[in-house]
Structure 1
Amino acid sequence: MVKKYTVTDPLLKLGCTLGEGAVWDTRTQRLYFVDIDQRKVYTYEPSTGAHGYQTFDNKITSLSGLADGSGLIAAIDTGFAYIPFSSLPFPPDGSKQSVIPVEVDAKCNEKEKRFNEGTVDPAGRFLSGTLGFEHGSKDGRMFSLAVTAEGNHRAPLVLDNITCTNGMGWTADGETMYFTDSWIKEIAAFDYNLETGEMSNRRTFSILEDQYGEPDGMCTDSEGGIWSARWGAGKVVRLTPSGELDVVIDFPGAWHMTCVVFGGPSLEDLYVTTASSDYTGDNLPERSQGGDLFVVRGLGYQGVERHRFKGTAST
């Protein structure tokens, strides 16, 4: 039986053009997320209700924490970068900040629009990929950023022929990787080699019917379930480890659901980012809450802590 929920009120009315890239930091007990098109990184602290943003020179598309606690690793429009916590004043002072670029060969080519989603694997690598210019094109690629034993960065190509790189996750043993290829509406599964970072044996984990839009960001829970934000549908869904749909959350005031992550002291609150851009189609319902931040409580599921990248933002 599918459980159904409806969320009518946003947590924060932000009006993001393209809210995305949410990550919960269990150490600071803060949520970090981005507005890609407005070049903002948001910080939200549930214990106090304080929230704010910092504006950067680059479009920042996804975030993950650092193992040493010095800040965040990010995918930016042109590649990879560090964001030290010192550049995220809280509350912000309004000044524009610059990221610390990571110098690797992983760069967009002439067919790629920009980098998009990124996530850290259980071995501490940061995987991020691109999207093409045309919807449906398979010009995207994925790179796997890591720090070598000598302290250098490398980012080999690990996947190509991607439409639009989106949510990723791993099973508890790290042997299966989930990957969202949005424009073909597929969440794929791969065999994953934790030692080498190699992905193999691609197969379809989930493709849902049109009423569920395109899969976007995702996260996992402690039972092995997959939570998927659905672009163009106003929904977040949960898929069981076998790929069956068992939870549907409707957001009647929003349309493009972009990213989901569990947060809060016990990782039981589901945070959802949204976008206000790229509304297409006929007779769309009123979606004035697009771009706001939502939280869903009382679902009865617990998230798992995100892995952290083994680099440092210290300067």
Structure 2
Amino acid sequence: MVKHITVNEPLLSLNCTLGEGAVWDTRLQRLFFVDIDQRKVYTYEPGSGQHGYQTFDQKITSLSGLQDGSGLIAAIDTGFAYIPFSSLPFPPDGSKRSIIPINVTAKCNEKEKRFNEGTVDPAGRFLSGTLGFEHGSKDGRMFALEYQNDGSHAAPLILDSITCTNGMGWTADGKTMYFTDSWIKEIAKFDYDLSTGKMSNRTTFSILPDEFGEPDGMCTDAQGGIWSARWAAGKVVRLTPAGEIDVVIDFPKAWHMTCCVFGGPDLEDLYVTSAASDYIGDDLPDRSDGGALFVVKGVGYRGVERNRFKGSLGSFSK
């Protein structure tokens, strides 16, 4: 039996052009996410109901927490950066705040539009990849940012020939990695070596029919399920470890669902970001909630805490 859930109202109507990159901080009990095109990082605190954003000079495309609790690691349009929490006052004052670019050789080349999704692996590396300029092109690459003992960083290339880098996740033992290659509509599986970060033996985990659009961001739950936000479909689906759909969440007034993450005190609330609904054609349905933030309660599953980057802002403050 497939469980169907319909979400008719957004949590926050934000008019994001490209909402993305959601991460839940269990220590602060706050949700962080981005609007890539508007260069914003949002903060939402369910306990108080407060929310706000800061605007930056660079496009920030994805976020993860730092193990030392001092801020966030981020993929920016051209590479990697730290965002200290001091640059995210809450509520914000509207001024532009600084981020700290990380000096590594991993940069976009002339075939790559920008960096996109990023996620920390169970060993504390921040994996992030790019997308090409043309839909369907395989010009994207992925890098694994690592913090070195001397305070420097390295970001070796770990995967190439990607269409559009998107959601990633790991099984509980860290031995299997899921990776979303959006423009070919595939969620792939790799054997994953935690000691080296090497990905090998790629196989297809899921390719869904056209009615489910393209897979975008994803997260995992405590039972090994994969939750996939679906671009150009107005849906989030849960895939069992066998790759079968057993939950479908519909968002009738949004179209591009971009990222999902479990949050809340018990990691039982599913937060979903979206992008503006550039829906065209005749007899258009009402997709006026594109760009909003949604929360889905009562899905019947508990999430797992996101991994944190084993790096530190300390080397930049000396």
Scaled by the length of structure 2, what TM-score is found? 0.98
Q: Distance in 2 between matches of 1:67 and 1:170?
A: 18
What residue number does 1:101 align with?
101
Conserved in 2, the CA contact under 8 Å of 1:22 and 1:259?
yes
CA contact (8 A) 1:12 1:293 kept: yes
1:311 deviates by 1.0
**Counterpart for residue 310 of structure 2:** 310
Q: 1:224 to 1:282 in 2, by over 3 A?
A: farther
Distance in 2, Cα, partners of 1:43 & 1:263: 13
What is the alpha-carbon root mean square deviation over aligned residues?
0.9
Other structure's SS at 2:211 match: helix
User: Residue 71 of structure 2 aligns with which residue?
Assistant: 71
Identity %: 81
Residue 3 of structure 2 is aligned to residue 6 of structure 1: no
| Whole-Å separation in 2 of the counterparts to 1:62 and 1:274 | 14
Per-residue CA deviations over 1:199-224 (Å, capped at 9, x if unaligned) read: 00000000000000000000000000
Secondary structure of 1:183's counterpart equals helix
Q: Distance in 2 between matches of 1:236 and 1:66?
A: 27
Preserved CA contact (<8 Å) 1:18 1:277: no
Report the alpha carbon displacement of residue 150 of structure 1 after superposing the two structures with TM.
2.2
Task: Specify whether residues 199 and 222 from structure 1 end up closer, same or farther in structure 2 by C-alpha distance, changes over 3 A only.
Answer: same
Q: Distance in 2 between matches of 1:280 and 1:304?
A: 37
The equivalences for 1:275-290 within 5 A come to 275-276=275-276, 278-280=278-280, 283-290=283-290
The one-letter code matched in structure 1 to 2:153 is H
Aligned to 1:183: 183
- 1:13-92 to structure 2, matched below 5 A, reads 13-92=13-92
Rounded to whole Å, the distance in 1 between the matches of 2:117 and 2:36 is 11
1-side partners of 2:148 and 2:280: how far apart? 44
Match of 1:202 in 2: 202
Aligned-partner Cα distance in 2 for 1:259–1:122: 20
Aligned-pair CA distance for 1:284: 4.0
Q: Distance in 2 between matches of 1:198 and 1:281?
A: 44
Does the C-alpha gap of structure 1 residues 75 and 276 become closer, same or farther in structure 2, counting only changes over 3 Å? same
Would the aligned equivalents of 1:130 and 1:142 in 2 still touch at CA under 8 Å? yes
Amino acid at match of 2:113: K
Distance 1:182 1:214 in 2: 6
Alpha-carbon contact 1:58-1:98 (below 8 Å) kept: no
Letter in 2 for 1:187: I
The answer for unaligned runs of 5 or more in structure 1 is none
The amino acid across from 2:159 in the alignment is L
C-alpha deviations, 1:12-31, integer Å up to 9, x for none? 01010000000000000000
Please show how residues 235-274 of structure 1 align to structure 2 within 5 Å.
235-274=235-274
Shift of the alpha carbon at 1:149? 2.2
Distance 2:51 2:45 in 1: 6
Contact 1:16–1:38 at 8 Å: present in 2 too?
Answer: yes
How many Å apart are 1:283 and its aligned residue? 4.6
* Kept after mapping to 1: 8 A contact 2:277/2:287: no
2: CA distance between counterparts of 1:284 and 1:15?
Answer: 19
CA distance in 1, matches of 2:98, 2:142: 24
Q: Quick one: distance in 1 between partners of 2:185 and 2:175?
A: 23
Which aligned segments of 4 or more residues in structure 1 are displaced greater than 6 angstroms?
none
- 2:118 equivalent in structure 1: 118
- How many residues were matched structurally? 315
Determine helix, strand or coil for the equivalent of 2:304: coil
1:72–1:313 contact (8 Å) kept in structure 2:
no
Deviates more, 1:157-166 or 1:146-155: 146-155
The worse-fitting range, judged by mean Cα deviation, of 280-289 and 138-147 is 280-289
Per the alignment, residue 131 of structure 2 pairs with 131
Q: How far apart in 1 are the matches of 2:101 and 2:234?
A: 35
Q: Deviations over 1:125-149 (max 9, x none)?
A: 0000000000000000000000122
Q: State the shift of 1:286 in Å.
A: 1.8
**Match of 2:142, as an amino acid?**
M
Letter in 2 for 1:77: D
* CA distance 1:210–1:61, shift in 2 (3 Å): same
Find the counterpart in structure 2 of residue 170 from structure 1.
170
Pick which of 52-61 and 142-151 moved more.
142-151
Name the CA distance, whole Å, in 1 between partners of 2:113 and 2:250.
30
Task: Report whether the alignment pairs 1:299 with 2:299.
Answer: yes
- 1:67 is paired with a residue whose SS is coil
